[in-house]
Structure 1
Amino acid sequence: MDQERIIEKMEERLSNYKKFEQMIQLHLRVNYFSFVYQSFYNQIGYDNNEKKRFTSNEFQKFVINTNFLDLINEIYRTRLSKKGIKIISERLQEVEHFDDYYNAISIFEACNPTKYANGNLKSKNAFSFGTKVLHFYDPKHNPILDSEVRKNLGIKVEMNKSLCIEFREAANSFVKKHRDYFDKFYESDTIAQELEKRHMNINFSNMEILDMALYEPENKLTI
Structure 2
Amino acid sequence: MNTVLHKANTRGHANYGWLDTNHTFSFANYHNPERMNFGVLRVLNDDRVAEGRGFSTHPHDNMEIISIPLEGDMEHKDSMGNVTVIKEGDVQVISAGTGIFHSEYNKNSDKEVKFLQIWVFPNKKQVEPRYDQISLKDIETENQFYQIVSPNKTDQGVWIHQDAWFSLGKFTQETKIEYKLHSNKNGVYAFILNGKASIQGQRLEPRDGFGVWGTDSIQITPEKDSKILLMEVPMSI
Q: What's the TM-score once normalised by structure 2's chain length? A: 0.29
Of structures 1 and 2, the one with the larger relative CO (CA 8 A, separation 6+) is 1
**TM score, norm. by length of structure 1:** 0.30
Higher strand share: 2
Between structures 1 and 2, the one with greater helix share: 1
